[in-house]
Structure 1
Amino acid sequence: MKTASITFLKSAFVFLVISLGSFLFGTASATCTQANLTGTWYAMGVSGDTYWDEMTETDRCKVVISSTGAVTSGSSCNIRDQRGLYTLRIASGTMHVTTACAVSGSLRLCGNSACTVSAIFTIQYGQMTRDKESFPLLGYKSADPDVVFIYEAVKQ
């Protein structure tokens, strides 16, 4: 009986060490830096007004992020809704990633060429994957939080 208990304890200890090692290795490999976010990302998903129960837009955005987290020129969104297909320029914004791979930031989209009509969209939740090649994100329009977006971003 005593030998069986010792064998069980040894097996349990080995299992615990292997499990803990796998957990620590997995956690270590998930560490992110701003460099992981730098580059060109394509985000696709849906957006709409949750107050009116209308998720009527499909969106595809190209977001170019500098090493400092600034959203740079060449960033835009193609929007399809009941009015048709149109493009909105992303005039400015910032995006950052924590060491735990949480993505945050905001984007200012222009409704016209002079950007006198614009809206700021805030990323509420984002989580970069372990391979650092994609991240799902959820956000809202800052002036009207009922307007939300749900995207998946993929690095080019």
Structure 2
Amino acid sequence: MRFNPFLYNDHGNMVELYVGGCETVDAIRLFDNNESFSVDCLGATLYKDFGWATESDIPIIKTVGEFVNFLETEGDIEIIEFEAQIGDIAKISTHDDGECNFRFGSKKECISKLKYLLPKQYTDMFINKLMNNQGVYLELLQDGRVLQYNNFDEYTDKIT
């Protein structure tokens, strides 16, 4: 599976979703190109000759599509830390360009994005397991089996 593990928590007024193996551009592409967008925090090591670039070093970006275009045009800028607000739909943060945390205003938005990340044949089953196992890391295997981990270290110990 391309994306693993997953972690889900519903706080009532906010839903959190962690997706491992999800690069910043993958996360942003889940949203409509015309959706408003603002970069709140950026730390990148390969953007131009800055050495360490921050959000103040990049052009002003107002939409999801503009940000995707920026990343595609610039190539790998080695994003280390990233936070952005996408309209009133979600807040996204990534770490080391491979660990993505979403904070959605609704469960419905979370589910709609999950459906794009999961293989169609396992989508409903996995979303059900995820929603019923809050606070537990879940790994979806290619054959549809789901493995559970009590914490992230337990998951990383298994894959290393």
TM-score, normalised via structure 1 length: 0.26
Name the larger-Rg structure. 1
Relative contact order higher in (CA < 8 Å, ≥ 6 apart): 2
TM-score, normalised via structure 2 length: 0.25
Higher strand share: 1
